[in-house]
């Protein structure tokens, strides 16, 4: 075996090791960015400009409840497996239902006809310390 062949194999081993290190680093960064601490799991539900509920999804039990606005508009909100979403709404467009569960880096769940907003508490200035 010549010296050139040994160097070629060493180089290939270095590339494989470098690739494994890069994959591990990216996995670590992804885990750090997507993990949720307790404070990051608090949502606020506002209706017609007033805070109706502040819920810690990390400790909330599965639940389903109806929020009715002053004109009789109804939204059925579900808390399930640490997620929150609007299951049903009697508004004409149903965008709040189509939104699906509230995502950490996504937009708030909004029902304009009923003036209902579900968002992360960290996205508002209403959080009490």
The listed range with the strongest mean pLDDT (26-35, 82-91, 120-129) is 82-91
* pLDDT tens sequence across 17-33: 889 999 999 988 877 76
Q: Same domain for 116 and 88?
A: yes
Domain membership flag for residue 128: no
Strand partners, 76: 66, 88
Domain membership flag for residue 87: yes
Q: Same domain for 63 and 118?
A: yes
Calculate ∠ Cα 81-23-102, nearest 5°: 25
Domains identified in the chain, total number: 2
Q: Same domain for 17 and 65?
A: no
Domain membership flag for residue 129: no
Whether the Cβ atoms of residue 85 and residue 102 lie closer than 8 Å to each other: yes
Q: Same domain for 17 and 66?
A: no
Look at residue 104 in the predicted model and tell me its pLDDT: 82
Residue 71: give its domain's CATH number.
2.60.320.10
Look at residue 4 in the predicted model and tell me its pLDDT: 54
Structure confidence at residue 36 as a pLDDT band (50, 70, 90): low
Nearest-angstrom CA–CA distance, 129 and 116: 24
What average pLDDT does the structure give for the chain? 85
Look at residue 3 in the predicted model and tell me its pLDDT: 53
> Of 87, 91, 90, nearest to 99 (Cα)?
87
Rounded to an integer, the average pLDDT of 119-129 is: 61
Rounded to an integer, the average pLDDT of 112-128 is: 77
Domain membership flag for residue 12: yes
User: Per the confidence metrics, is the pTM higher than 0.85?
Assistant: no
Q: Same domain for 31 and 89?
A: no
**Structural domain that includes position 118:** 38-123
């Amino acid at each position: 075996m010549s010296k050139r062949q040994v160097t070629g194999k060493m180089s290939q081993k270095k590339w494989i090791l470098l690739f494994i290190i890069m994959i591990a680093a990216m996995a670590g960064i992804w885990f750090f960015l997507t993990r949720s601490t307790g404070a990051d799991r608090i949502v606020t539900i506002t209706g017609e400009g007033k805070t109706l509920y502040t819920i810690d999804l990390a400790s909330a039990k599965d639940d389903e409840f109806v929020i009715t606005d002053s004109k009789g508009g109804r939204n059925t909100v579900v808390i399930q497996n640490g997620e929150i979403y609007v299951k049903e709404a009697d508004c004409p467009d149903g965008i709040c239902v189509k939104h699906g569960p509230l995502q950490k880096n996504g937009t708030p769940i909004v029902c304009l006809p009923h003036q209902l907003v579900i968002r992360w508490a960290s996205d508002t200035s209403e959080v009490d310390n």
